[in-house]
Structure formats: C-alpha cells, structure tokens
Structure 1
Amino acid sequence: MEIRASTVLPARREPIELHTGDGLKLVGELALPADRPPVATLICLHPLPTHGGMMDSHVFKKASNRLPALADLGLLRFNTRGTTSERGTSEGAFGGGEAERLDVAAALECADFNDLPRVWLVGWSFGTELALKWGRDPLVEGAILLSPPLHRTTDADLDGWAEFGRPLIALVPEFDDYLRPEEARERFARVPQAEVVGVDGAKHLWVGEPYVRIVLNEIVRRVNPAAHPLPTEVADS
C-alpha cells in the first residue's frame, strides 16, 4: 500500500491535557508505537495560531499518523494557549510568544512525567521561535526547525542556544516568505552546532506530499537514523 497524504498507520493514540504554571489546561494528543516503546520523542510546536496554526497543522498531523509506525517515535502534539483544533480549545489567550514559555514547559513536564525517552523539539514557523526562546531545557536533546522566520528570535536567543550546545537543525524552504537559506545561514552562524538545510522548491507551508516526505525524512535522519529513509509503501493490513 502506497503511503499517501491521508494515510493513518497504527499507533497508540490518546488525548492528553497539559497543565501550565499559570493554571491553564492545554489540549493535546500523545501518539506512541502500537506495540513497543518509542526510541525517541518529538514535541511538536505548531505555527502561528493567529494565522491558522494548531496541533493539526498538516506536517505535524502527518508526522503523528506515520512516524510511530515507521520510525518508532513518540509524538506529543498540543494546542498552545487560546488555540483551537479538532481536539478542542486550549484555555487562555495568545501570548505573542512570551506567555507560551509556560506552554513549552508544560509539554516538557508531561514528557518527563510519562518517562518519554530522548526528547526533541520540532518547531514550525512560530513554533521555531518557541523552541529557540524556551526550549533550552536539560530534557531536550536537540531541536529541528521548520521554516524559521526568526522574527521574535533575538541574537541573545541564538547565543543562548549556542551555549546550550545541543544540535539545532533548520530546514529552510528555497522560496520561504520570511527567511531563505542564504540569510538563514548568516543568522544561524552565531550557533556553531547549527545546521541549515536548504530545501529546493519548497515554500513556507511545505504544501505537497514530496515536501512533507522530505521534512519527515530529515527529522528521522537526526532522531532515529536506523529508520532512515522512510518507506513510501507499507504492507496491507
């Protein structure tokens, strides 16, 4: 069976509720391999909620539908404060990337409480700003950034990640609306361990199955290289 945009592979999926330090409840979902523990965990930080970003933004939804089965990964997706998806609406209101530090902390606390192994942050657009600002936690092994705009990210944030020392991989579309590969390499030069991967033909939203596959393969290459490259077909169940 060919893996298509709508393919949903077997996994243990359960709704979760995150609790922030300022008393909010955030809705989310944890997806784990169906019959074995995960070898690593992705915490997904979604695009800008004021422009439609949410836990079900398509790259993250497809990652959750595929990667537990194909790469033995656990995925924790959630709506930041004030954000709505099919799962529901998280309490609170959009905090411009500042109050959301408590949302990131709540997700990390959930991963720690559930003994989820080898935590990586995967941020997309606005979510990359959250990862860079608030993701420097001892639990975090590294971060993968999809379409980082670096709007809210300061040089101090980048210097902080440089000092943090954990891997940082930025996947930058050739035709991104906000930050393109050459400029990205200049900005991320402050982080010695950062790797900027320019993706030919891609745009900010990674629309199209070929670009989704590139993103998922680059994630798996870093987080569980034994499962790379991902198959494009699976046996019929």
Structure 2
Amino acid sequence: MSTDDAGTGEPTPIRALTVLPAHREDIELHTADGLTLVGELARPAADDGSPLTPAATLVTLHPLPTHGGYMDSHVLRKASWRLPALAGLAVLRFNTRGTTSPRGTSQGAFDGGAGEQFDVHAAIEHAEFHDLPRRWLVGWSFGTELALMHGRDPSIEGAILLSPPLHRATDADLDAWDAFGKPLVVLVPELDDYLRPPEARQRFARVRHAEVIRVDGAKHLWVGEPAVRRVLDEIVGHVLPDVPVPLPTTWRGESTTAERQETA
C-alpha cells in the first residue's frame, strides 16, 4: 500500500514509535566462513497477514557496532516499520558478526570491516535465494563502508549511503564502484561529524555516476522525525521512482506502538 487512505477509520499520525502492518519474520544468515547471523525480514502484507511480493528489497547495513550500531539503529528500524506498508518494500535487517540486539547475537567477533565481507555476501545471497526482487543496499555510517568495500555484487541494483565517513573505504573502493557502474546515492548531512558535503563531493567525484545529496540541518545520526522522513523519502524516491514522495505522515487502519529503545 502506498497511500495514506489505506484501511478504514480516521487517519492517525505516524509517530516515531508507530509500527505499520507488515509480514515480519526472524531470519538467520549463514556466512561462507561458518557463522550464523541473526536478522529480520519485513515484507508487505495482505489483509490476512500473509506476505506479498515486494516491489523492491532493501538490504540494510547498520552503523558501527563498537559505538552502539546494530540492526535496530533507529533509521533502519523505522524503515522496517513503515516502508513495507507505505511503499511495498521489503526490508532486511541483520546484526553483523559479534553484534547484539534484542533479536539476539550474531556469532563471531567484530573484524573492523574485513571479515564482515562474508556478512554482506550472506545477506545479499539470502535475498537472492528467497526471490526478493530488485535488491538495493542501504548502508549507514560503518554500513556505508561495508557497501562500498564489499557490496559490488551483480545481483544488486544499486546502493544508498547514509552519512558515509569514508574511514575504511578507500579511493580504490570508490574507483571500483565507478567501474561497477551501478547507481550510488549518497546522503550527506550538512552537520555531519565526519564527512560534510563539500569534502564528500570531492571524494565521491571519483564515482562519476554518484549522486551526492546535501541534507541541510541534518547530523550524522539523523535524529528527529524530519531527518528520518527525509531519509525514507530519498530511499523510496530512488528505489521506486513511481511512488509519490514525500511519503504519507498519517495512516488509516491498524498499527501498533513499539517500546522505546536507545539506539544509534
């Protein structure tokens, strides 16, 4: 569903903790180096709760786990709460190796982005094996490094980067993405702690087809509903250009309210 008149009853505001209808299931990913990672897949749902074929799929990569990042980091969690219902998207979230969230703990230990190549590949393979269509990577902070370093898989359609620090990803990775040729959308907060728009434009100039978008007033953690809504609108606008944005801010029909969590 992609309009704010879905369902019946009076429209209610979509707030920070609003969870819209979706078919949600716990999943496990199995890496080529023998680890089991925990995650969740949210898909659009029919009225009876059964899963529908999504219009496209987001494979999400969370912020740095040594600084509080995990699959429930708030932008990714809100994507899973809203985008199946508002845009017909599937949202796959998971904990990289050694990362813990309420869903559980993934096996292994944080490896600074090296061993995590197997985690990225396992997530893409899971989406491909389960026939989830039109797969896009969505990385946030550390997750952008994983996308740039390890996400150049021929089965993905492109990548969207939120607050890329470019600490681990090198010019060689950018050059490789340029040669890869798939879309690369880069959302850079005006007030980012690590990489601000002017420098980001210089660094990402190596990827000739990259679209670098300055987001005025935003910070690295995308705190606040206006920042979150801007991110989700940009994601949907690029992945599903036929879906009108901005997305609805109200919902008619059933919804639930999640418990508040402290997340990156």
- Taking structure 2 as the reference length, what is the TM-score of the superposition? 0.89
1:235 corresponding residue in structure 2: 252
What's the offset of the Cα at 1:62? Answer: 0.3
| Higher mean C-alpha deviation, range 226-235 or range 198-207 | 226-235
Establish whether residue 166 from structure 1 lines up as the match of residue 177 from structure 2: no
Q: CA deviation digits over 1:34-56, x for unaligned, max 9? A: 12210100000000000000000
**Equivalent residue of 1:226, what SS?**
coil
**Equivalent residue of 1:96, what SS?**
coil
**Equivalent residue of 1:225, what SS?**
coil
Q: Distance in 1 between matches of 2:242 and 2:251?
A: 17
Q: Distance in 2 between matches of 1:167 and 1:132?
A: 12
Aligned partner (choices 142, 146, 170) of residue 154 of structure 1:
170
Establish whether residue 180 from structure 1 lines up as the match of residue 196 from structure 2: yes
2:95 corresponding residue in structure 1: 79
2:209 corresponding residue in structure 1: 193
Q: Distance in 2 between matches of 1:149 and 1:117?
A: 29
Aligned partner (choices 22, 40, 45) of residue 29 of structure 1:
40
Q: Distance in 1 between matches of 2:179 and 2:163?
A: 23
Structure with the larger RCO, 1 or 2 (CA within 8 Å, 6+ apart): 2
Q: Distance in 2 between matches of 1:88 and 1:227?
A: 34
Structure 1 vs Structure 2: percent identity of aligned residues?
Answer: 72
Q: Distance in 1 between matches of 2:81 and 2:249?
A: 14
Task: Count matched residues.
Answer: 237
Q: CA deviation digits over 1:49-104, x for unaligned, max 9? A: 00000000000000000000000000100000000001000000001000000000
Q: Distance in 1 between matches of 2:22 and 2:40?
A: 12
1:65 corresponding residue in structure 2: 81
Aligned partner (choices 136, 139, 151) of residue 135 of structure 1:
151
2:6 corresponding residue in structure 1: none
Contact 1:143–1:167, Cα closer than 8 Å, also in 2: yes
Q: Distance in 2 between matches of 1:227 and 1:16?
A: 28
Q: CA deviation digits over 1:135-194, x for unaligned, max 9? A: 000111000000000000111100000000000000000000000001000000000110
What's the offset of the Cα at 1:236? Answer: 3.4
- RMSD between aligned residues: 0.6
Q: Distance in 2 between matches of 1:234 and 1:31?
A: 18
Establish whether residue 118 from structure 1 lines up as the match of residue 134 from structure 2: yes
5+ unaligned residues in a row in structure 2: which ranges?
A: 1-11, 47-51, 255-264
Structure 1 residue ranges (4+ consecutive) displaced by more than 6 angstroms after TM superposition:
none
Q: Distance in 2 between matches of 1:63 and 1:214?
A: 12
Contact 1:31–1:76, Cα closer than 8 Å, also in 2: yes
Aligned partner (choices 13, 18, 28) of residue 7 of structure 1:
18
Q: CA deviation digits over 1:194-223, x for unaligned, max 9? A: 011000000000000000000000000001
Establish whether residue 212 from structure 1 lines up as the match of residue 228 from structure 2: yes
Contact 1:70–1:227, Cα closer than 8 Å, also in 2: no
> One-letter code of the match for 1:94?
F
Contact 1:54–1:84, Cα closer than 8 Å, also in 2: yes
Bigger Rg, which one: 2
5+ unaligned residues in a row in structure 1: which ranges?
A: none
